[in-house]
Structure 1
Amino acid sequence: MIKKRVLCSSVILTVFILSNLYSSPQPESLADPFRKALDQSMISNVHSNIETAKKNSKDDFYSQFSFANESIPHEQGFVRKRLDKYLGKFAYLKRPSHQIHKKADQLLPRIAKILKSYGIPEDFKYIAVVESSLNPQTTSHKGAGGYWQFMPATARLYGLRVNGNIDERLDLIKSTHAAAKYLKSLHKEFGDWTLAAAAYNVGGGSLRSSLRRQKKDNYYDLRLNAETASYVYKIISMKSILENS
């Protein structure tokens, strides 16, 4: 059992080390076939090690993932497949970048402290990373903005000023207090932290409708739009990447 756990942990650590290597700025070479071959070999070896770990110790590999202090149904194939997808997507080159790591080190402890004061699990701090990459200037095509990607109406509802002169969605402390209030209200409504996270993405009304129509009470059993169906998996994957790299 110990050997299996060590194997799983070492495989994940290898992925994260490789992620850091590639996310750090690298000087470009005009012609470096040896570097390219080495890169491909390293990635191939990592994938091979991951598959070996899964075959030898599937339960150990997936059971270490959790959200909001609760285990996830890792025994289900589709759950494992989605975790694989976003762990791979975030680990290789795309995200998190060196800049996101740096911002996370600076900002996530401050976010976690505020969330804790409201009784919200620390894992919710990764929503800000998934939503905006901790860049307050990020704006969605629908008009959501700031660290927590609040829509203007929702931001105002939870005490933020958003007008032509000021946008408090860009203020880390004020917007995090607003997000904490919103998350707490969603948890009160749904009685489940994972559903609260899903509702943060899709909206409480839409999630209520899905729960009622499908007669389900669990996020992992719901059929949701593609973005919301992947939302919690993205949070869990980002948490794993940032905590282990």
Structure 2
Amino acid sequence: MGKKHLVTCSVIVVLVIISTLNIFSTNPVLPAKTTPKFIEATTADLLFLKTEKAEDNFNFANEALPVNDKRVDYKLKKSIATHRFRNVQSNILHSKADKLFPVIEPILRAYGIPEDFKFVPLVESGLREGTSPKGARGIWQFMPGTARSYGLKVNRGKDERLNIRKSTIAACKYIKELYAEFNSWTLAAAAYNNGSIKLERAINRQKEDNYFRMSLNRETGSYVYKLIAMKEIINRPKKYGYNNYYSYLQKPLPMLTAVN
């Protein structure tokens, strides 16, 4: 009995020693939450600094922008980055919005035009004044012939393209016709920039009527992205480096009766 007891004790001691050696020879496992993770930063990440969240619902006139498309997402972020305060270095866009929007918004509503079209003048003439090299003039950048066809007087003595209210009414008539032709506010905006004939040819040639999937010239191909970027910059200025909010955000909208 004594010998058996001694053997049993010896076996227990040996097992304890082996167990101890295994414990100290094993590398400790860190909890998952303390394991460091290294994420490689790309050039695009450094440029845009991930300011746009995945849950942001970008759209123009409630027509959704497919941000899950990498090409579309890149073009939008590039346009927003271009208009950030660190690149523009001026509050002129917000100052113009403060001046123009109280006049433009009620006219757009009276004609049934989506409010997002109020950003067209900021894109068309936001950082410049006067007449374009092609002869377009005013906040809506009307060419003389187009202006006259929508009721504006353009002659040596008078140029109603410079009248904010009258030129906005003319723009609404034009945009409404473009929507009736293309049945899309996004395409109407593209046609406003490029002309309905050129856009219709592009649609027929490409057999595609989704603006974001079309291949257009550089100016028209980036036009709607600029409008959406301007919408972001004006509506959420602080997010993009504009620390001085423009006063229009706190003003009640003026009333305006229907316009014929």
If the TM-score is normalised by the length of the shorter chain, which range does it land in? Answer: 0.7 to 0.9
Instruction: Supply the distance in 2 between the matched residues of 1:207 and 1:48 (Cα, whole angstroms).
Output: 32
Does the alignment pair 1:99 with 2:92? Answer: yes
Q: 2:152 aligns with which of 122, 140, 160?
A: 160
Q: CA distance change for structure 1 residues 96 and 207 in 2, over 3 Å: closer, same or farther?
A: farther
Q: Higher relative CO (CA 8 A, sep ≥ 6), structure 1 or 2? A: 2
Residue 231 of structure 2 aligns with which residue? 239
TM-score, normalised relative to structure 2:
0.70
Residue 196 of structure 1 aligns with which residue? 188
CA shift, 1:138, in A, is 2.5
Letter matched to residue 152 of structure 1: P
Which is higher, the Rg of structure 1 or of structure 2? 2
Letter matched to residue 59 of structure 1: A
Q: CA distance change for structure 1 residues 227 and 48 in 2, over 3 Å: closer, same or farther?
A: closer
Letter matched to residue 240 of structure 1: E
Structure 1 residues not aligned, in runs of 5+? 1-45
CA RMSD of aligned residues (A): 2.0
Residue 117 of structure 1 aligns with which residue? 110
Instruction: Supply the distance in 2 between the matched residues of 1:152 and 1:50 (Cα, whole angstroms).
Output: 43
CA shift, 1:84, in A, is 1.1
CA shift, 1:100, in A, is 2.4
Moved over 2 A (4+): 46-51, 92-97
Does the alignment pair 1:229 with 2:228? Answer: no
Q: CA distance change for structure 1 residues 186 and 48 in 2, over 3 Å: closer, same or farther?
A: closer
Letter matched to residue 204 of structure 1: S
Instruction: Supply the distance in 2 between the matched residues of 1:144 and 1:70 (Cα, whole angstroms).
Output: 28
Task: Please identify which structure carries the higher helix content.
Answer: 1
TM-score, normalised relative to structure 1:
0.74
Structure 2 counterparts to residues 1-245 of structure 1, below 5 A = 47=46, 50-51=49-50, 59-60=54-55, 63-95=56-88, 97-133=90-126, 137-245=129-237
1:115–1:121 contact (8 Å) kept in structure 2: yes
CA shift, 1:66, in A, is 1.1
Q: Could you report, residue by residue, the CA deviation over 1:130-188 in whole angstroms, capped at 9, with x for unpaired residues?
A: 001186x4211100010100000000000000011110000000000000000000000
Q: CA distance change for structure 1 residues 134 and 188 in 2, over 3 Å: closer, same or farther?
A: farther
Number of equivalent positions? 193
Residue 32 of structure 1 aligns with which residue? none
Residue 15 of structure 1 aligns with which residue? none
Instruction: Supply the distance in 2 between the matched residues of 1:160 and 1:48 (Cα, whole angstroms).
Output: 44
Q: CA distance change for structure 1 residues 49 and 199 in 2, over 3 Å: closer, same or farther?
A: closer
CA shift, 1:47, in A, is 4.7
Instruction: Supply the distance in 1 between the matched residues of 2:70 and 2:224 (Cα, whole angstroms).
Output: 16
1:104–1:134 contact (8 Å) kept in structure 2: no
1:87–1:237 contact (8 Å) kept in structure 2: yes
